[in-house]
């Protein structure tokens, strides 16, 4: 009798560990592309010179990168402060009333489907190994995968914004003055499509939907800003 063939080990690939930096990177790159290209096309639609268009792009790149870094650092730092405060409260509760904390953890596992006896055993064993870690993960929802990292978020946002803003600026610098706007819009849409594809691949999502989403909102932002530039340029 032939021996059964052992099934190959299952290695599932997950992407949730990329959420922290991927969100900041995609947001920064998308903002860099859309805001810089929109601003430059708006300035161009107002009748400004090629030099003014290029200058507006450079200013948008520098200011946007610094703004993204500062905004990410401040917001993620606020999240980190909240996490530290909650962990401090939980650590104090574990020292002063461990039984109450054990009951809380047991009830969490009961709500997830375990029997009270088994939930109590699981809570007891987890608390014996790392009580604060168990409560942080299962009661507060704080884990290593989702821990706030302000510096990482700030650097990722600044770098990705600058990377996204650079192509429209280069297009304005290299293209003839008469073709500056088509070059900016064209490179912007191409970069948005590429960003949608890369973001989807890194996150394990479907590229077509991501590409269409980034293209739609990017084109809308450019169109609205160009219309505003043309309107106010004609008025003044």
CB of 106 within 8 A of CB of 119? yes
Tell me what pLDDT residue 4 has: 53
Tell me what pLDDT residue 141 has: 81
Q: Picking from 46-50, 78-82, 145-149, which range would have the lowest pLDDT averaged per residue?
A: 145-149
CB of 190 within 8 A of CB of 220? no
Average pLDDT on 95-103 reads 93
Average pLDDT on 127-155 reads 81
The DSSP symbol for 47 reads T
Tell me what pLDDT residue 220 has: 93
pLDDT for residue 95 is more than 80: yes
pLDDT, tens digit, for every residue of 28-63?
A: 888 999 999 999 999 998 888 889 999 999 999 999
141 or 23, which is more confident: 141
Q: Buried b / exposed e across 24-57, counting CB within 10 Å, b at 16+?
A: bbbbbbbbbbbbbbbbbbbbbbbebeeeebbbbb
The percentage of the chain sitting over the pLDDT mark of 70, rounded to a whole number, equals 86
Distances (CA, A) of 9 to 3, 13, 181, 204: 18, 13, 54, 21
Tell me what pLDDT residue 1 has: 46
Instruction: Name the residue with tokens 């993204």.
Output: 68
Between CA 75 and CA 148 the distance in angstroms is 10
Query: Tokens at residue 154, please?
Result: 């700030």
Tell me what pLDDT residue 5 has: 54
Which pLDDT band, with edges at 50, 70 and 90, does 96 fall under? Answer: very high
> Does pTM top 0.75 for this prediction?
no
pLDDT, tens digit, for every residue of 166-211?
A: 999 999 999 888 888 899 999 999 999 998 898 788 777 788 998 9
The percentage of the chain sitting over the pLDDT mark of 90, rounded to a whole number, equals 49
Tell me what pLDDT residue 229 has: 84
pLDDT, tens digit, for every residue of 6-33?
A: 555 545 544 444 555 566 677 788 899 9
**Continuous H helices in 97-115:** 98-111
Residues in CB range of 204: below 8 A, 6 or more apart: 13, 14, 15
Average pLDDT on 90-102 reads 93
């Amino acid at each position: 009798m032939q021996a059964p063939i052992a099934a190959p080990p299952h290695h599932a690939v997950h992407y949730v560990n990329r959420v922290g930096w991927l969100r900041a990177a995609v947001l920064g790159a998308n903002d860099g592309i859309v805001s810089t290209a929109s601003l430059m096309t708006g300035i161009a639609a107002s009748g400004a010179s090629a030099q003014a268009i290029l200058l507006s792009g450079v200013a948008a790149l520098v200011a946007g990168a610094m703004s993204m870094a500062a905004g990410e650092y401040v917001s993620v730092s606020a999240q980190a402060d909240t996490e530290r405060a909650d962990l401090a409260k939980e650590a104090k509760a574990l020292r002063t009333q461990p039984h109450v904390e054990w009951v809380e953890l047991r009830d969490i596992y009961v709500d997830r489907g375990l029997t009270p006896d088994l939930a109590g055993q699981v809570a007891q064993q987890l608390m014996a190994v790392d009580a604060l870690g168990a409560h942080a993960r299962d009661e507060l929802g704080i884990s290593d995968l989702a821990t706030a990292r302000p510096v990482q978020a700030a650097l990722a946002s600044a770098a990705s914004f600058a990377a996204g803003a650079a192509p429209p600026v280069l297009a304005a610098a290299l293209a003839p003055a008469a073709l500056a706007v088509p070059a900016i819009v064209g490179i912007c849409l191409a970069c948005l499509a590429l960003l949608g594809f890369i973001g989807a691949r890194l996150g394990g999502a479907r590229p077509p939907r991501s590409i269409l989403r980034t293209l739609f909102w990017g084109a809308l932002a450019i169109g609205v800003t160009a219309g505003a530039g043309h309107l106010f340029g004609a008025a003044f």
